């Protein structure tokens, strides 16, 4: 398996990170996870635009042009023969000695790119069967719109969910539901979709954006607006979404059955629309080879 370190493809066990790297020391960096179906990137531009936007928000310069980055990531995909899988890429601010919180004015490096790719099949069983979730107070910082590699708040929430035998932790700030530890959350009430607006309190998921678009086009009313924990608890259907989870139903919340405990009809319809979008963008056979 080969990975990218800056513009070099190297064997995974030969790739090294400097202990003075600010990503390693401070979690000072940004990342993306991009999915491939049938060897084709899905929503590539959206992910890369978000990477550059996250970097700009923390005054970090991505060391490559978008064209060069695409060339590098395509070489990574080709080298590892990725059909249906994920590319993980991150850019750290680079090496600084001695360790200092302050970002130097004349920073010697523009950032260090590392990326890996692996084949990961679609979790089709789970897309239908769904999973459990718990609710937790959202104690993360107030810039969740940045896809930062500093993920302690997310990790602790996800781990609490895991310890409770759940797939995800649905987070709320007081009464208002925000998102999950590593995905967005939407609810269905009276056939309409509700999901938190794209502000500083959530990561504006690319999956969520595609879902909202295809759902609206199909005539489903989409509210990107506040909804409460009580709305969540009384929802007809709940689903979570991310690059790897696609549209995954939540069939149990804090030990209580959601709806009739099965994937609901609107969630099923939305996943079907999402799959059509995958085929539209990645080619007709994309979902067949993705098994």
Size of the site for ligand DCS (CB under 6 A): 15
Does position 267 interact with ligand DCS (CB under 6 A)? The reply is: no
Return the C-alpha torsion angle 247, 154, 135, 197, nearest 10: -60
Does position 182 interact with ligand DCS (CB under 6 A)? The reply is: yes
Does position 198 interact with ligand DCS (CB under 6 A)? The reply is: no
From the list 31, 37, 44, 64, the catalytic residue is 31
Number of other CB atoms surrounding residue 35 within 10 Å: 25
CB of 106 to ligand DCS, least distance (A): 32
**Candidate segments 58-66, 93-101, 241-249, 267-275, binder of ligand DCS by CB under 6 A:** 241-249
d(CA 89, CA 238): 30
The Cα-based distances of 258 to 80, 81, 186, 262 in angstroms read 41, 40, 13, 8
Kindly provide the residue ranges of all beta strands, DSSP E only, lying in the chain, ordered along the sequence.
Answer: 2-5, 8-11, 29-37, 40-41, 85-92, 112-119, 131-137, 168-173, 176-180, 184-189, 192-195, 222-224, 237-242, 246-253, 256-257
Residue 31 annotated in active site: yes
Residue 24 annotated in active site: no
Token output for 24: 């390693």
d(CA 56, CA 177): 27
Minimum CB distance to ligand DCS smaller for 182 or for 273: 182
Cα torsion angle, 195, 274, 156, 51, sign: negative
Among 93, 172, 208, 263, binds ligand DCS (CB under 6 A): 208
Among 51, 91, 206, 238, binds ligand DCS (CB under 6 A): 206
Picking from 106, 18, 91, the residue whose alpha carbon sits closest to that of residue 58 is 91
**Candidate segments 63-71, 200-208, 258-266, 276-284, binder of ligand DCS by CB under 6 A:** 200-208
Residue 66 annotated in active site: no
Does position 244 interact with ligand DCS (CB under 6 A)? The reply is: yes
Does position 136 interact with ligand DCS (CB under 6 A)? The reply is: no
From the list 37, 73, 76, 179, the catalytic residue is 179
Catalog residues that contact ligand DCS under the rule CB under 6 A.
Answer: 33, 154, 179, 182-184, 203, 205-208, 241-244
Active site residues: 31, 147, 179, 203
């Amino acid at each position: 398996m080969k990975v990218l370190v800056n513009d070099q493809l190297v064997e995974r066990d030969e790739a090294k990170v400097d202990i003075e790297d600010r990503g390693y020391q401070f979690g000072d960096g940004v990342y993306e996870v991009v999915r491939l179906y049938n060897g084709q990137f899905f929503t590539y531009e959206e992910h890369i635009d978000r990477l550059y936007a996250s970097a700009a928000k923390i005054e970090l310069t991505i060391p490559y042009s978008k064209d060069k980055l695409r060339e590098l990531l395509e070489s990574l995909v080709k080298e590892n023969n990725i059909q249906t899988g994920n590319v993980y890429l991150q850019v750290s601010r680079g090496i600084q000695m001695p360790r200092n919180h302050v970002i130097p004015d004349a920073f010697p490096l523009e950032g260090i790119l590392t990326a890996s790719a692996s084949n990961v099949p679609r979790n089709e069983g789970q897309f239908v069967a769904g999973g459990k979730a718990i609710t937790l107070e959202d104690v993360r910082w107030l810039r969740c719109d940045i896809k930062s590699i500093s993920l302690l708040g997310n990790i602790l929430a996800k781990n609490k969910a895991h310890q409770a035998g759940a797939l995800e932790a649905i987070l709320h700030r007081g009464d208002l539901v925000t998102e999950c530890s590593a995905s967005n959350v939407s609810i269905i009430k009276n056939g309409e979709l509700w999901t938190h607006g794209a502000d500083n309190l959530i990561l504006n998921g690319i999956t969520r954006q595609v879902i909202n678009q295809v759902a609206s086009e199909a005539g489903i009313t989409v509210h990107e607006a506040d909804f409460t924990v009580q709305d969540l608890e009384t929802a007809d259907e709940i689903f979570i979404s991310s690059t790897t989870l696609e549209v995954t139903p939540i069939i149990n919340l804090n030990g209580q059955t959601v709806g009739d405990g099965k994937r609901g009809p609107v969630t099923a319809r939305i996943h079907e629309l999402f799959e059509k979008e995958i085929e539209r963008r990645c080619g007709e056979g994309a979902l067949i080879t993705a098994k």
